[in-house]
Chain A
Amino acid sequence: MSEIIIKNGHVFDAVTGLKGDVADVCIKDGVIVDKVSNAATVIDAAGKTVMAGAVDVHTHVAGPKVNLGRWYRPEDKFRLGERCSAKLNPNTRIEGGFSIPTVFKTGYEYARMGFAFTMEAAMPPLYARHVHDEIRDTPILDQAALPVFGNNWFMFEYLKNGEYDNAAAYVAWILRQTKGYGIKCVNPGGSEAWGWGLNCLTVNDPVPYFDITPKEIVDGLITTNEHLKLPHSVHLHSNNLGNPGNYTTTLDSLKIAEGHTANNNFGRDTVLHHTHVQFHSYGGTTWADFESKAKEVMDYVNKQKNISIDTGNVTLDETTTMTADGPFEYHLGALNHLKWANVDVELETSAGVVPYIYGKNVKVCEMQWAIGLEIALYAKDMMRTMITTDHPNAGPFTRYPRVYAWLMDKEYRDAQLNGFKWSSKVIDATTLAELDREISLYELSQMTRAAPAKVLGLSKSFGGLAPGMKGNVAVYNINPDNMLKGLELEDALSKVSVFIKDGVKCVENGVVLEAEPVVKKTYWVNSSVPDTKQVIHDVSEKFLKYYSVNLANYEVVDHYAPNQEIVEV
């Protein structure tokens, strides 16, 4: 019978609509409640900011490519021989890594920033076990993972022939087999084409040998998704990422959502989530005349009500790019001549990893930084716009507070902008300098809490402080009455005063307390849609002929996710 009351904090919460009003938040047995007895532990939040535990809609923190990144970047860790200060808590595990933190550091760092849930954004079904292995070892956080379907041979067949029942049955089967949460689609068709060293750059490029186009794939996936009534919408990383002039492809991809309507019981009203839009909002024809098209893209996003996006902000760090978009990584490796790793996965997807340095004096990187911020600042509906760094592609998630600060403090971001080597060129090619908007704490609580929870279909338990929701509360050393600026703000956001997960206090003043008592959960979707004869036949046939493992050894058995939260559909 644990009871906690967080007293007199300035509460920002889109669910209860509190915009900084002073209020108490009560937690009983890990759940938000109206009131608690006098026996409750009191946490004084007077002059502090109180929000729900944050939700990360798109991050790469577990799985084969993430670990490959860890493997092949020892230089991303502590420098040898440097004596790091003793751990503040002997009960926590060793932490390491900057752009690709180890699982322990991942859990702790997210908790230090007040995050309660993260979505692993790309899980190759064949490697699902590996993803769950890492998720199991990640402390504190609740997590889920999205299997990739955009280059899956089964889906190609079903969608080409418009067999949506089979498509739905197969998706449901994969979700059960891999303990997955929803439908991720990376570079539709392009990653399969990469099996032959090719790519699909527009939504109409046919996929070699499969006679289907990216457009048909995405459209089919959306139909399937709504047919299944899954909690999350289709999660799209569209074609032609990171190339000048790609914003047309982005708009084409977004337009596919037109005419589709959300169909689910989770309060989700979007049908398509386009991720890391920053990488997809480039104009021009070459890196020379490369310019921002953030406005064009966001204008469409703002008026098209059934789509949501996340930003993918560049943080100007040395990081490690990793995506299931194999051809892109090869392209990037050819550009920066750094070490290129690639993993193609039979029948399912491909993936690549390349280190990348977002230099403060490289024009392209400065532009990318500006575009990322523009996207957030142009957004009209904060419930459909989320802030991410596409960790670790545009920068490590540990830099979220810096991104927030840039968005919330014009001075701070202008200082950065004017400090650039090419600032005049960047100011010409983007509109960032003209944007005076500063994101408010309330908007922040929408973009990092309520919105991702809603889009992921988790709004019943995450992203808010209404009674009945999970007892995840973050208290920051920010007094809205005299708002912090720049670095101080960044600092306050990166070290919570107190973070409570499921009613357990697990971080205090940025120090992780006993991580053990918090039960981290693995979320996955169990769809009631039954297997069709066709699917059963196809699966057994393809495994017999084309897979390198047997059907019987494909399923992720229960002990990989010791604490499951099964979302029944």
Chain B
Amino acid sequence: MTKTIKNVICTFCGTLCDDLEVDVSDDGKKIVQVRNACAIGAEKYLHVGNPGRVVLPRMRQEDGTYKDISYEEAIDFAAKTLLKAKKPLLYGWSSTNCEAIAAGNTLAEKIGGVVDNCATVCHGSSLLAIQDTGVPSCTLGEVKNRADRIIFWGCNPAHAHPRHMSRYSIFPRGFFSAKGQKGRKIICVDCRETDTAKIADTFVRIKQSYDYEVFDALRTLLRGEEIPDEVGGVPREKLQEVVDICKSGRFVTLFFGMGLTHTLGRNHNIDNGINFIRDLNDYTKATLIAMRGHYNVTGAGQVLGWQYGFPFACDLSRLTMARHNPGETTSVDLLVRHEVDACVVIASDLAAHFPFEATRRMAHIPTITIDPHISMSTELSDLHIPVAIVGVEVGGCCYRMDNVPIETRKCIDAPDGVITDEELFKRISARVDELLAEADVKNASEYLAKMEA
């Protein structure tokens, strides 16, 4: 006998599909079956029961092996490491719930750390562009109900957001878009003919790293000015065609992804893209949405936003004020420039997704990784603290790629003794308070001064 949980939220990508059906065993300990999920989502739920789940914190030993320790020891080690560090980095946050992120920020504020989330190597540049030129956006439901022109630029939902096209962008039938795909024209711009490009009506292959120039050409054409015969490997006629398709639409939506943020120019590519959309609004209705990767990277930014006013790369080391300056307070720069002397990796895999130069630095400073599973980071850090999996073993609030908050659901119980991110951070904070009280000081700065004296 199994019981079925309906309307489960898939905690893999920023699409945050909320229509999964999960069959769990009677004792509520095992997931038996998952319906409606994409291949990745299904794997996420089904492999939870795989053997080899870590249930106790593991401390790295001299000889390179790991030794299981109790949560108390782990929490004490974490609190002391963070207090001793002059400028610790707390990176990740994108695969946990907002409650945990809020608890983490409280801790970061106590120990004067730098809080940074995965946006820093993902859509950070998009956020920089938004800071420079704003963002005419809308919810995914608007796209579903109204859009008749869809542009995918430097993103590949077929691989990265498998159900995006069927739920929101290409196929769904909405209030004003009853014809579904038939009523829509799909444009795909990329340097490789991705599987998304194969579905598109128009595929524009541009030379790698020429996005900025191409956007500029489109905007120039939109204003009826002349451009060279070829821009970024695309003939003028093709660009004119794209402009005409957009202008003839009633509701244009541009989805963009890593193809823009990871390549030459970074924020400027998106900056110019946003301005292209803004210009289009003089002729028709146009919006754009960033294809956020991890399921709650947006939420991590939202919490930082309302607590300190910045979407990512938030430096709290002054203890009295928050500072934000990507290029200085972003994780990769902090690690590569040797600006931080301790590191906490939460709900993300720094070692697997950062350039190696940064990873090596992480491996050489005291590092604590908080992750339900074994990952590259856990294998390179001094301490690995296992936690419950958000969206499977614990609920909590998460934000979709269009900033819509959705409450994730608990499906099964976490393994005995394994605690949640939120509880963990609250306990570390409590331990920090104890240590400050013991040393009889007001804040971490004084604590460090006392230690040095």
Contact = CB atoms under 8 A, between A and B. Distances in A.
Assess A/B contact in the complex (Cβ within 8 A).
yes
Interface of A: 62, 64, 66-68, 70-74, 76-78, 80-81, 83-87, 90, 93-94, 96-97, 100-104, 126-127, 129-130, 133-134, 137, 153, 195-197, 209, 330, 333, 338-347, 350, 353-354, 545-550, 552-553, 557, 560
A330 B281 contact: yes
A93 B134 CA distance: 28
Contact of A341 (B130, B301, B311): B130
Given A196-B250, A549-B406, 20 more contacts: A71-B131, A71-B301, A72-B135, A76-B309, A77-B309, A81-B323, A86-B320, A94-B109, A94-B319, A133-B306, A137-B306, A195-B146, A195-B251, A195-B285, A330-B136, A346-B141, A346-B144, A350-B138, A545-B175, A546-B144
Given A94-B321, A344-B139, A549-B404, A134 B306 contact: yes
B413 interface: no
Interface in B71-95: none
Interface in B310-327: 310-311, 316, 318-325
Contacts of A342: 134-138, 287
B398 to A, nearest CB: 10
Nearest to A347: B141
B248 interface: no
A293 to B, nearest CB: 31
Interface residues of B, number: 66
Given A197-B285, A345-B139, A347-B141, A97 B407 contact: no
Given A130-B302, A341-B134, A344-B287, A102 B307 contact: yes
Given A67-B302, A341-B137, A345-B142, A94 B308 contact: yes
Interface in B429-453: 442-443
B128 to A, nearest CB: 9
A279 B26 CA distance: 61
A85 B167 CA distance: 51
Contacts of A76: 309
A344 B309 contact: no
B167 A553 contact: no
A309 B176 CA distance: 37
A548 B305 contact: no
B281 A137 contact: no
A102 B324 CA distance: 14
Contacts of B135: 68, 72, 341-342
A104 B307 contact: yes
Closest 5 CB pairs of A and B: A346-B141, A339-B134, A548-B141, A344-B138, A129-B405
B232 interface: no
Nearest to B99: A559
A549 B251 contact: no
Given A96-B309, A126-B404, A344 B142 contact: yes
B309 A545 contact: no
Interface in B141-177: 141-142, 144-146, 167-168, 173-176
A321 to B, nearest CB: 12
A73 B7 CA distance: 36
B109 A353 contact: no
Nearest to B133: A339
B198 interface: no
A333 to B, nearest CB: 7
A71 B174 contact: no
A77 B323 CA distance: 8
A102 B306 contact: yes
A130 B141 CA distance: 17
B100 to A, nearest CB: 13
Contacts of A96: 308-309, 321-322
B235 to A, nearest CB: 30
A340 B136 contact: yes
